[in-house]
């Protein structure tokens, strides 16, 4: 893990997007599962690791690109990011989970095993989006 790049990433504030959207599946507060609605629940993480885990991959990538830029110049991370973007676009139909093999190979995470490989594996998710609605949403005609 790249820890030397940390100093270049120091920022004063962490942008917090909504953590626990109060609306349940029908657009209304789900009191049974989430308790009474409160602004605090939506803005503050309930678990100390929630924020850092949500952004972990992004932060790692940012740090690595920063170090690469400092060592090898601007073009190196630029080219890599272009490849990441291309690899990220290789997906299946909108409602089917993709293995992201190209992205994994680029990142080098195809020969490591972490918690994200067997916990909450999207391939084994019990819920699937409705194919028609997902495709319409993807095409923008929803």
Partner 1 sequence: MALSCVLEPALSGFNFDNSTRNIVLENGSEEGKIKAPKPMKTGTTIAGLVYKDGVVLGADTRATSDEVVADKKCAKIHYIAPNIYCCGAGTAADTEKTTDMLSSNLTIFSMNSGRNPRVIMAVNILQDMLFRYRGMIGAHLILGGVDCTGSHLYTVGPYGSMDKVPYLGMGSGKLPAMGILEDRFKANMDLEEAKALVSDAIHAGIMSDLGSGNNIDLCVITKEGWTISDLTESPL
Q: How far apart are CA 45 and CA 55, in angstroms?
A: 13
Q: How far apart are CA 97 and CA 12, in angstroms?
A: 36
Q: How far apart are CA 38 and CA 25, in angstroms?
A: 18
Place of tokens 């997007």: 17
Closer residue to partner 1, CB minimum distance, 73 or 110: 110
Q: How far apart are CA 62 and CA 142, in angstroms?
A: 34
Q: Which of 12, 120, 139, 141 binds partner 1 (CB under 8 A)?
A: 120
**Footprint (CB under 8 A) of partner 1, residues 63-82:** none
Q: How far apart are CA 129 and CA 110, in angstroms?
A: 27
Closer residue to partner 1, CB minimum distance, 74 or 121: 121
Tell me if 53 contacts partner 1 by CB under 8 A.
yes
SS3 94: coil
Give the interface size with partner 1 as a residue count (CB under 8 A). 42
Closer residue to partner 1, CB minimum distance, 101 or 133: 133
Report in angstroms how near the CB of residue 115 gets to partner 1 at its nearest. 5
Kindly list the residues in this chain that would bind partner 1 in the complex (CB under 8 A).
1, 20, 23, 25-27, 33-35, 41, 45-50, 52-54, 56, 95, 97, 111-117, 119-122, 125, 127-130, 133-134, 137, 142
């Amino acid at each position: 893990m790249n820890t030397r790049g940390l100093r270049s990433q120091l920022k004063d504030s962490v942008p917090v997007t909504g953590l626990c959207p109060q609306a349940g599946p029908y657009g209304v507060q789900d009191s049974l599962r989430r308790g009474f609605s409160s602004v605090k629940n939506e803005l503050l993480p309930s678990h100390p690791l929630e924020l850092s885990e949500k952004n972990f991959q992004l932060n790692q990538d940012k740090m690595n690109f920063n170090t690469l830029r400092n060592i090898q110049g601007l073009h190196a991370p630029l080219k890599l990011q272009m490849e990441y973007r291309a690899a990220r676009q290789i997906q299946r139909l909108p409602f089917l989970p993709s293995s992201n093999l190209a992205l994994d190979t680029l990142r080098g995470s195809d020969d490591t095993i972490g918690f994200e490989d067997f916990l909450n594996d999207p391939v084994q998710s019990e819920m699937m989006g409705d194919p028609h609605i997902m495709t319409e949403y993807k095409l923008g005609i929803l």
